[in-house]
A and B are shown apart, each in its own frame.
Chain A
C-alpha cells in the first residue's frame, strides 16, 4: 500500500472535479431540481434564505416563497427569465459587497450555469425522492447463474456497471451461523443445525432452514431487540430518581407480534392507536405502551405540564424517526431548513398526540388493569347488565373506567390551594385542616356522582364540594371515613349541568396538629349513578363494580384519549419554547404528504395511523425495508436510517428500495417475515464475506455487495450466542425483566434506594432482551457493545471497536461463568483428550472443524495454563469456581481456553 500524501490527494481531487464538471456541462439537457439544484441551494443559500432565516424576505425552501416579491421589491426568481431574476444577477457579480453568497466564495461556473438553466427552464420545483409515493419498479432484465431472486437482479445490474463480480456462496457452516444469528439472534438448535449441514440439496435445505428459523419463537426475541431501540423501551422512568416502571408486557407484545408475523400496517396501527380501535382487547391497549415509553419525571418540584409536554414532543419526533426515517425535531423551533416542513406543521402533528390522559404523574396513569379470566367474566356480565339498564354508552364508559380508571382527574392537577399542597409537586394532593383546592373547568353535564380515591390518617372531618368558588353553591358535602389505606368512595348528588370550576374543601375541628397533612387524594371521577336501588339485582352488580374497581391485577401504562370535556387545545410554540404559546392549531399533517390521508379518516391517532399505513405514505414502507436491509446486510440502502430526507445519505440502490417497498405493501401484504425471507434467500445475502484485493480497492465499504458484509454482533446477539455456545441458555420466553450478574455499585440514583439483585437461579441465563434496563445506569456490558441507552429513539447503532469491549468478554464474571459452562460442554462432547475438547469447542461455535494452526495455538495456551495450575491448587479452584477435590488443573486450563475461544474475532463477528 502506497502512502498517500496530502499533496497527492489534492491533485487527485482537483483533477477529478475538473473531469466531472466537463462531463456535466451540457446546456440543453433538462436540469433536475432534486439532484442538481437543491444541493446547490442547500449548500450555499439556505443558511440565510431558508427555514430559519429569510434574509431580505427571500427563501428558497418552498417554491411560492422563492418566487415571491422580496423586501427590495424585486423578484429573486422569475421562471423562464434568468436575466430578470435578481438571484441570477447577484450570483454573477464581482463586487463582494453585492455578490451572493454574501461573504463567501463565489459559486462555481458550473453551479451558476445549472441555476441559470434551471430558471430559464421554468424554475421547476421537484420533490425529494423520499417524499414521492412508492411506485412499481421494473426489475432489471438480468439472467445468469448467480441470480436467485429479484433482489439479485438489482444488485447484479449495479455490480456490472462497476465491473465487479459477486462472490460465490458462503460455505454451509458460515451460512448456517449467519442466517441463524440474523433471524433468531442466536445459534440454531443442534438438531436444526445438523439437518442443514447434512442436507444433500443445499438449496432445498437452506430453504427449510430459513423457514424453520422464521417459525422459531426466538425469531420474535431477536427482532424485538431491534425494535426496543426505536420504542426507547426501558424498565425505568428516567430522569433523576429513575424509578421502576412496569411496562414489560409491551416488550412481550412486540415479541408476540413478530412471532405471529402481525402485518406491519397493523403492527403500527395498534401501537399508535390500539386504544381507539373498536372494542380494544388488552393486547390492543398494551400495544399503545409504545408511546408510554417516554420518560416521567418524579424529581421533587418539577412541573408536570412541562414534562408531559416533553413526552408529547418526544412522541412526535419518535413517530417520524422510527416509522418514517425522517427528522422532524428541528421543525419544533422553526420551519425545516432543508425539507418541506413548516413550523406550524409540527404542532398540527403534535395535536394528534396532545390529548391523552397521561400527565407526567408519579403513578404513571393511565394504566390498563389486566383482569384474570374470572374478573373478565365478571366485567362482561356487569357491562351487559349496564347496557340493559342504562344503554350502550354507559356500559362502554363503565368498562373503560374499570379497566383503565379513565377518565379521571388526577389530584395533582389541583390549583388555588389553601392548607393544601401537591406532595413533592407530583405525587398527590394533601389536605390539612381548613384545606381547599380547585379543579378547573370540570365538565359536569349529566353528572350526579363523584367517585374518588383517597386515604385519611385521622378520624372525622367534613368534605365539601362547591361550584365556581370555595363558598359557591354546594354540590355535596359528606363525612370522611377514616382509613389509613387508600379507598374508593362514591358520593351521589343531584344532576348537574354545565362546565364549572369545582372546589373541594375539608375541615376537621378535632384535629390538634393544624400543620399536619392528614388527607391524601389520588383521583376524582365525575360520572353517573348506575345502580338504581329499585332494580333487584342492582345491589349485586354494584358490589361487582366496586370489587373490580378495588382490585389490583397487573397493570401497564397505556394510552387513553381525553373525552370531549377534557380536551386540551394545541398551540404553536414560538421558537419551540413550550411556555410561549402562539396560535391554536388542529390536528393535521404536512402539505407534501397529505395525499396519503384517507378520505374520512378521523382527526385523531387512529386517523394518523391510517395515514401512516396508507400505501401512498412515501416513507413508512421505505423506512422499514431500509431498516431490515441494514439488519441483514450491515448497512442500509440509505445509510442514514434515521434520515431519508434531503440531508440524509443518497440511497445506493434506490430502485431496489422502491421495489421492495412496493412489494412489501402489495405482494407481501405487509408481512415482514416474507420480506425478510426474500432478503435472506437472495444470492447477494448468501455470498462469501472474504474481502478480495479487488474489492478492497474498488468497494472498501461494500456499497455494491460483491461480497457479504462482516458485521460485529450486537450487544444482544453476542450475549445470546455465548449463552448458546456454553450450553447455559435459559430459553424461556416472555415475562418480567431479569437481572443477570452485574458488578456492584452500578445503581446509585439519588432518592432511590432500589438495588440490582443479580439472580442466582436460571433467570441469569435468560436472553439479553429480557435484561432489566435502567435508563440512567443501563447494563454495563451491553452498553460497552454499543447498546442504546433507550432515552430517545435510536434508529441506528454505530458499531465501535474498543478495548473496553475486550475487557467485557475477557473478564466480566457473567462471561467467565459462560466460559466455565462452555468448558464443561467441551469435556462432555469430546471425552478426555484435551485437543479434542478444544477442537469440539471450536466446532460448537462455528460449525466447522478447527484448522490445525488454530488448534496448535490453543493447545499451546492449554499447556501453558496447565503448567501453572499444576503448581497452584488455589488458583485452580478460583478459575473453575469449584472446591478442592472437584477442581482439576485440566479443567481450569480448559476454562482458560474456553474464555479465549469466546473472544475470537470470528466468534464476535458475523462472517
Chain B
C-alpha cells in the first residue's frame, strides 16, 4: 500500500469513526433510518475506500449493522418472500405439461438418456413415467397448470414461470445450498444474509431476515441455508417458529412480568450509562440501544407472529390452522412480516422428495397432500399482497432445489413399489411474481418429455442475479472481501434474466 493510500485509508477510518459516533448519538434509543447525509457518505466511502472502482462497498457498522441502507440503484423490490419446497417438487405433475411423456409411460428409458448420467438412486434401465395429473390451460396467458393446483391456476396471470431451470447438484443438501448461497458447499452466506447486509432492514424491532420452516424437518442442508457464512453473524436468518417461542429466547423468564422486565432493562441501561461516563466507549451506548431494541422486539415479534387475530376471511383464504406449525400459517406470517418491514422472508416446506419408495412420498398418494397444503396459501399470498398494494414491491419466488426425472425411480435397479421419480438436475420449474416481474409470462422450454431444456435455460446464479437486480444491486459488483478476494453471491456466474422483467 502506498503511503498515499495508507493516508487515505486512515482518513476514511477516521471518518467512519466519526460516522459511528454520530449514529450512536442520533440513534440512541431511537428507531429510525439513517439520515440523508450518512447515506451519501456511505457511498462516498465506497468509492474511495475500495480497491476497484466497480465494487459496491457496503458500509458495515458493527454497532448498528441492520440500519436501512440504499442500494446502488433504485430497485423495484423492497423485500423478498422465497418459498422453497425442500425435497424438490415434480415439475411434471405441476407446470411442465408433457403429453408425449404419457405415450411413453411404462416403456424402457432410451439408452440415450442414461448414457454418461449419474442419478441419485436410479440404477440400470428404468421405465418412463407419464404425467400423474391432468393439465389444462388457465388465465389470459394460457399457462398450463395441473389439476393438483386448482387455486393457484387462477393466479397464473400474475407470475413468470421459468421452465428450464437447471442445476449441477443432484443431492438435496448441495443443491439447496447452491440455490440459496451460490455454492454447493457449506460456508457461504445465504441470499437473505447478503441482502440484509446490503440493505439493512426497515423495522429495527424485528429481525431483517426471517426463516420459517414446516413439514416436520429442516431443509436437508440444515441451518446453513440461512447461515451468514463469512458475513458477520448478525446477518444470519433468524428462525421464527409457530410453536414454542416465536423467536428463541424472546419470552421473559417465567415469573417476570413485562413491567418488571422493563424496570430491569431500565436499570441495566442506567448502570451502563454510568459506565459510559467512566469509559467513554461508544460501544456502551450501542449496547444500551440493543437492550432497548430487545425489549421492543419482545413485543413486536410475538405480536407479528400471532395469527389468531387475523379476520376469518384471511384464515379461510390461506387455509391456516392456528397453533400448528404448517406451511399455510407460515405463508400468512410471511405476508405479515413483509408488511411490518422485514426485508427477506425465507420459507422451507420439507417433504417433497417424491421417490415412491413408500406411500408417503408417492406422486399419486402422499405427495397429493403436499399439493393441497400449498395450493391455497400460495394463491392467497399473491392475492393478499396484491390487495394490499404490496405485490408491486415484494418479490415472491417459488421452487425447489432440482426437478424430478421423467423416468420412474428403480432404486438399486428394482422398480419402486409406488409411483415416484428420482432427482433430476437438467430441467425444472421455478416461478417468480411481483416487484417488476412480467405478469402471465413463461420463459424457457424443455423437450417433449421434459428431460432437457431446449431454450431459455437458466441456473441458480441467474435467479440470484435477477433477485439482486430487482433489489437494486448489480450482482457482479455486490461483493464482500474475504480470504483476500472479493466474494459475491453469484460466485463467477449469473446473468440477469431480462426476459422476465417487465
Contacts and interface: CB of A to CB of B under 8 A. Distances in A.
Most chain B beta-carbon neighbours within 10 Å: one of A10, A35, A811? A811
A5 B37 contact: yes
Interface in B458-489: 481-485
Interface in A785-829: 786-787, 789, 791-792, 798-808, 810-813, 816
A62 to B, nearest CB: 18
B223 A777 contact: yes
B218 interface: yes
B25 A745 contact: no
A199 to B, nearest CB: 25
B312 interface: no
A1 B1 contact: no
Interface string A758-781: 000000000000000001111011
A421 B275 contact: no
A132 B264 CA distance: 56
B279 A892 contact: no
A811 B120 CA distance: 44
Nearest to B48: A13
A374 interface: no
B290 interface: yes
A795 to B, nearest CB: 9
Given A9-B15, A807-B294, A892 B255 contact: yes
B186 A39 contact: no
Given A775-B222, A857-B271, A905 B287 contact: yes
A858 B267 contact: yes
Contact of A861 (B15, B185, B263, B482): B263
A299 B51 contact: no
B170 A301 contact: yes
Interface in B226-261: 227, 232-234, 236, 238, 241, 243-245, 247-257, 259-261
B422 to A, nearest CB: 9
Interface stretch (B16-24, B135-143, B367-375): B16-24
A139 interface: no
Nearest to A859: B267
B275 to A, nearest CB: 5
A650 B1 contact: yes
Contact of A750 (B218, B259, B286): B218
A339 interface: yes
A743 B483 contact: no
Interface stretch (B6-14, B68-76, B328-336, B378-386): B6-14
Contact of A880 (B4, B118, B185, B255): B255
Most chain A beta-carbon neighbours within 10 Å: one of B15, B172, B217, B484? B484
Contacts, number: 307
A864 B218 contact: no
B107 interface: no
Contacts of A878: 253-255
A805 B218 contact: no
Contacts of B3: 20, 23-24, 35
Interface string A699-722: 011000000001010000000000
Interface stretch (A116-124, A282-290, A561-569, A895-903): A895-903
Contacts of A744: 244
Nearest to A851: B274
B280 A690 contact: yes
Interface in A287-302: 295, 297, 299-302
Given A301-B423, A776-B218, A643 B483 contact: yes
B484 A905 contact: no
Interface in A861-892: 861, 864-865, 868, 874-880, 892
A645 B484 contact: yes
A679 to B, nearest CB: 22
Interface in A229-285: 238-240, 242
B297 A803 contact: yes
Most chain A beta-carbon neighbours within 10 Å: one of B19, B51, B412? B412
Nearest to A819: B253
A416 B81 CA distance: 47
A21 B14 CA distance: 20
A853 interface: yes
A329 B483 contact: yes
B271 A854 contact: yes
A17 interface: yes
A749 B217 contact: yes
Nearest to B287: A905
Contacts of B252: 810-811
Given A4-B41, A875-B257, A803 B286 contact: no
Interface in A9-50: 9-10, 12-13, 16-17, 20-21, 23-24, 35-36, 39-40, 42-43, 47
Nearest to B225: A776
A697 to B, nearest CB: 9
A775 B224 CA distance: 9
A796 to B, nearest CB: 10
Nearest to B86: A750
B234 A800 contact: yes
B322 interface: no
Interface in B6-61: 6-8, 11, 13-15, 17-22, 25, 37, 40-41, 44, 48, 51-53
A23 B294 CA distance: 51
Contacts of A900: 264, 267-268
A308 B65 CA distance: 38
Nearest to A802: B234
A860 interface: yes
B202 to A, nearest CB: 15
Nearest to A15: B11
B316 interface: no
B119 interface: yes
A47 B11 contact: no
A816 B264 CA distance: 14
A777 to B, nearest CB: 6
A238 B65 CA distance: 29
B280 A749 contact: no
B270 interface: yes
A42 B51 contact: yes
Most chain B beta-carbon neighbours within 10 Å: one of A515, A816, A905, A908? A905
B62 A47 contact: no
Contacts of A851: 274
A6 interface: yes
Given A9-B15, A13-B48, A786-B233, A811 B250 contact: yes
B263 A903 contact: no
B106 interface: no
Given A642-B483, A780-B248, A807 B298 contact: yes
Contacts of B213: 748
A745 B44 contact: no
A310 B186 CA distance: 11
Nearest to B272: A905
B253 A811 contact: yes
Given A302-B171, A800-B232, A816-B253, A327 B485 contact: yes
Contacts of B234: 800, 802
Most chain B beta-carbon neighbours within 10 Å: one of A16, A777, A781, A857? A857
Contacts of B14: 700
A599 B118 CA distance: 46
Nearest to B7: A20
Contacts of A874: 255
Given A6-B41, A295-B186, A801-B63, 19 more contacts: A13-B8, A39-B1, A110-B4, A240-B221, A301-B171, A301-B423, A643-B483, A700-B17, A775-B186, A800-B65, A803-B297, A804-B294, A806-B290, A807-B250, A810-B265, A878-B253, A879-B254, A904-B275, A908-B287
The 9 A-B pairs of least Cβ separation, nearest first, read: A776-B222, A301-B120, A879-B255, A878-B255, A700-B17, A806-B294, A327-B483, A803-B294, A878-B254
17 contacts: A1-B22, A4-B18, A6-B37, A6-B44, A9-B15, A10-B44, A13-B11, A421-B123, A689-B281, A696-B21, A700-B20, A791-B186, A800-B234, A813-B253, A853-B274, A864-B263, A878-B254
